[in-house]
């Protein structure tokens, strides 16, 4: 079985994180898994959301849908590549399930009994502004509180899915969430969680993960896209779907 590429864990700023994910969406030649952190912290909003009124802190718009997330005490993952390589053609929910199965397995390494929420409905248009305000069907929960969730973006036949696994709950993420610190009453290092997630993803997706790095073309595109994600024109856009002119 051909391994998927596993990029090394790294902390980056918000614009660079989103730029790397988009570069992988557009260019990854093999299915690619990436785990990363945010320094400094930032609020991300879903592709279709309006920026919150009066918000004065760091803010970025994602490529993916879903609700707003304050990113700081967490490990974020992304999975990207062609839908054929990801075995994701016409199977949106299946890809979520495989990733979330991996997250459940990773949390179990720390003694946390998590599960994929089956009851309720998937997140819809009437969902709260914050992604972690109210768990939806398919989210990863611990004792009914959301500890991880994901969102996708498809671009022609290519796909990006990314999501957050909380090291600790932050009040800026609403009232329905939790984190590893809240469950265990002890800290878990971000890199230790990323290593457990890599093992969990290999199990959940049923493929080996081989360490790799960004290619030159991916790095060059990510550098250009960082300027896009730093711009007010992208963050405050209201004109619907983008096209390649944004690159």
Helices of type H across 119-215 = 180-184, 190-205
Annotation says 131 is catalytic:
yes
Torsion sign (Cα): 108, 113, 119, 123: negative
Rounded-to-integer distance, Cα 164 and Cα 150, Å: 7
How far apart are the C-alpha atoms of 213 and 201, rounded to whole Å?
18
Q: Please, what's the largest Cα pairwise distance for the chain?
A: 51
DSSP character string of 140-159: EEETTEEEEEEEEEEETTEE
The dihedral region occupied by 174, where left means phi > 0, alpha psi between -120 and 50, and beta the remainder, is left
**Which one from 7, 131, 166, 167 is the annotated catalytic residue?**
131
Compute the distance between CA of residue 152 and CA of residue 163 in angstroms, rounded to an integer: 9
Q: Are 111 and 208 in contact (CB under 8 A)?
A: no
Beta strand pairing call for 59-61 and 42-45? parallel
Tokens of 157: 């036949």
Catalytic residues: 131
């Amino acid at each position: 079985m051909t391994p998927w590429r596993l990029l090394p864990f790294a902390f980056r700023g918000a614009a660079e994180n989103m730029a790397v994910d988009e570069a992988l969406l557009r260019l990854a030649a093999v299915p690619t898994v990436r785990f990363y952190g945010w320094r400094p912290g930032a609020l991300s909003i879903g592709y279709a959301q309006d920026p919150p009124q009066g918000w004065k802190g760091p803010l970025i718009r994602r490529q993916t849908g879903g609700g707003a997330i304050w990113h700081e005490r967490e490990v974020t993952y992304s999975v990207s590549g062609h839908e054929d390589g990801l075995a994701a053609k016409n199977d949106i929910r299946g890809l979520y399930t495989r990733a979330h199965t991996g997250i459940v397995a990773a949390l179990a390494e720390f003694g946390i009994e998590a599960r994929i929420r089956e009851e309720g409905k998937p997140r819809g248009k009437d969902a709260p502004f914050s992604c972690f305000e109210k768990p939806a069907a398919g989210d990863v929960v611990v004792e009914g509180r959301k500890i991880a969730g994901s969102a996708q973006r498809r671009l022609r036949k290519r796909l990006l899915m990314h999501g957050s696994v909380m090291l600790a709950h932050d009040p800026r993420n609403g009232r329905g969430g939790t984190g590893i610190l809240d469950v265990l009453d002890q800290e878990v290092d971000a890199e230790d969680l990323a290593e457990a997630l890599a093992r969990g993803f290999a199990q959940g997706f049923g493929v080996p993960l081989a360490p790799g790095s960004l290619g030159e073309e991916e790095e060059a595109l990510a550098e250009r896209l960082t300027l896009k994600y730093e711009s007010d024109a992208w963050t405050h856009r209201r004109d619907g779907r983008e096209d390649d002119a944004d690159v």
